[in-house]
Amino acid sequence: MRLSAVTVDRLPSAVVRPDYDRAAQRAGIVHLGIGAFHRAHQAVYTDAAMTGGDRDWAITGVSLRSPVVRDAIGPQDGLYTVTERSADGARSSLIGAVRDVIVAPEAPDAVARALASPDTRIVTLTVTEKGYHRLPDGALDVAVMERAEGTIYHHLARALADRRAAGLPGLTLLSCDNLADNGGALSAALTNWLNRIDPALAVWFAAECKCPASMVDRIVPAPSPNDLADIAQILNMQDTGAVVTEPFRQWVIEDRFAGPRPRWELGGAAFVADVAPYEAAKLRMLNGAHSALAYLGLLAGHAHVHEAIADPAIRTVIEQLIRDEAAASLDPAPGQGLSAYAAALLARFANPALPHRLAQIATDGSQKIVQRWLEPLAVNQARGRTCPATLRALAAWIVHVRGDGEPVADPMANKLAVIWAGAGREGIIDALFGQHGLYAAPWHPNDEDKSILTRALHALG
Ligand code: CS2
């Protein structure tokens, strides 16, 4: 038996269910990039808002590339479960917020119709760092845009033009990706693109749409076949769209919308005037530590986060990175307790009930290191502080992208391999981070940084 609108009543009573009339809800949200993270995060908050009485915020999910999610939850009428796992046990909830999944390359017109529907007021995005097609300095990679159809900018530009032509209101475009100032980054890149293709549309976009920033947090490993088998035991039926996650979740959203929004606060979201302090803390402390665990952990032969953080040599580096380097680079908001946050992160990483593959976190490092490591390195440098732990992590990434160990899953894998081949171990630091290096901003190593990096490169690689 498989989960669907027909079988849903046969779920065990311990599974928490939404209590609104799913079929009666109109779709107010289009989500670009519907993967496990969205299903365990924004969709859960939206479900809470509708359970709390909000109406017409059903989600149309869009997969920008693969049909996997559509095939997993389409036959289940959009239904799937979220299971929170920790040392204390497991708790499953049924999520009803997703109405439909469109596979963009198969049906670009259906994506355009959903985005240009009068019911749609919000577009949320989890398209990963590389989905923004930015160069290492943050500028839009216009060459890619001109070569390839089907990026977020193509879909959004078409939708905005359709909405303007139909006299419809603008949209709130809400990035939920791990980028610094994700809303500003999306707005700047889209404006750049619109100015190239239709400058009047850029003016309409600026007047009618808003791109609030948001900080999203929940650890959601890609579900493994074992996870799906465990969930089938709990549910007494198959759920091919099931996701497993930790009990913790957090969403801090800049309160700047172009129109109505669901009361995501009913699911625990916080609306604030300035997301930046929360976003920087999350990117540098959680994600920065995650990437460090990934590259140092893989080099030490570990497979999962909870195993790497249990390795005393790695744990020492991670604690130092989080507390003495990442936290030290921040300017926290009043009441934002960084030391409690650090302690909570270390406990979350140690969760033995949620195996999180280091190789998953190691993907796309070229797109992640700026906001996770290079920006805090630059701030600390300006404040006169050296960051041995972050530099050790950076050395582990440099060794990783040489490409002779674990496979390098990264849009810049080839480019990095070519740079390595040309520069060798003597020249690689300058080739990546020197004045004319690949990462021309925001950080260049000083002499002390270079000698720490060089020693670590020898020790690790
Ligand atoms: C991870 C994130 O894969 C990665 O790069 O660091 O997906 C991380 O699990 C989430 O941001 C947690 O909120």
- Measured over the CA atoms of residue 164, residue 170, residue 175 and residue 180, the dihedral's sign is positive
Mean pLDDT in consecutive groups of 10 residues from the start of the chain, 461 residues:
97 95 97 98 98 98 98 98 96 98 98 98 98 91 90 98 98 98 98 97 98 98 96 98 98 98 98 98 98 98 98 98 98 95 98 97 98 98 98 98 94 97 97 96 97 97 86
Superfamily of domain 276-460: N-(1-d-carboxylethyl)-l-norvaline Dehydrogenase; domain 2 (1.10.1040.10)
Q: For residue 364, give the ligand 1 atom closest to its CA.
A: 5
The Cα 396–Cα 289 span in angstroms is 13
User: What H or E segment, with its residue span, contains residue 98?
Assistant: strand 98-103
Q: How confident is the model at residue 136, as a pLDDT?
A: 83
Q: Rounded to the nearest whole angstrom, what is the distance from the C-alpha of residue 127 to the centroid of ligand 1? A: 13
CA distances (Å), origin 283, targets 25, 54, 205: 35, 31, 28
pTM (2 decimals)? 0.97
Beta-sheet strands, E only, within 362-422: none
Check: CB of residue 39 under 8 Å from CB of residue 95: yes
CATH number of this structure's domain 8-272, picked from the four choices 3.40.250.10, 3.40.50.720, 3.30.70.260, 3.40.50.150? 3.40.50.720
**DSSP for residue 62:** E
| CB proximity list for 230: less than 8 A, separation 6 or greater | none
Looking at ligand 1, which residue's alpha carbon is closest to its atom 6?
A: 287
Q: Rounded to the nearest whole angstrom, what is the distance from the C-alpha of residue 298 to the centroid of ligand 1? A: 16
* Residue ranges of the chain assigned to CATH 1.10.1040.10: 276-460
| CB proximity list for 216: less than 8 A, separation 6 or greater | 37, 41, 42, 126, 176, 177, 178, 250, 251
* Residue ranges of the chain assigned to CATH 3.40.50.720: 8-272
CA distances (Å), origin 343, targets 247, 248, 275, 349: 16, 14, 21, 10
Q: How confident is the model at residue 398, as a pLDDT?
A: 98
* Structure-token match 């909000």, residue found: 54
Looking at ligand 1, which residue's alpha carbon is closest to its atom 5?
A: 361
CA distances (Å), origin 192, targets 115, 147, 247: 20, 16, 39
Ligand 1 pocket mutation pick from 129, 175, 361 by most atoms within 8 angstroms of CB: 361
Helix (H, G, I), strand (E, B) or coil at 11: coil
Ligand 1 pocket mutation pick from 37, 321, 349 by most atoms within 8 angstroms of CB: 37
Helices (H), 75-224: 108-115, 142-147, 152-165, 182-197, 199-208
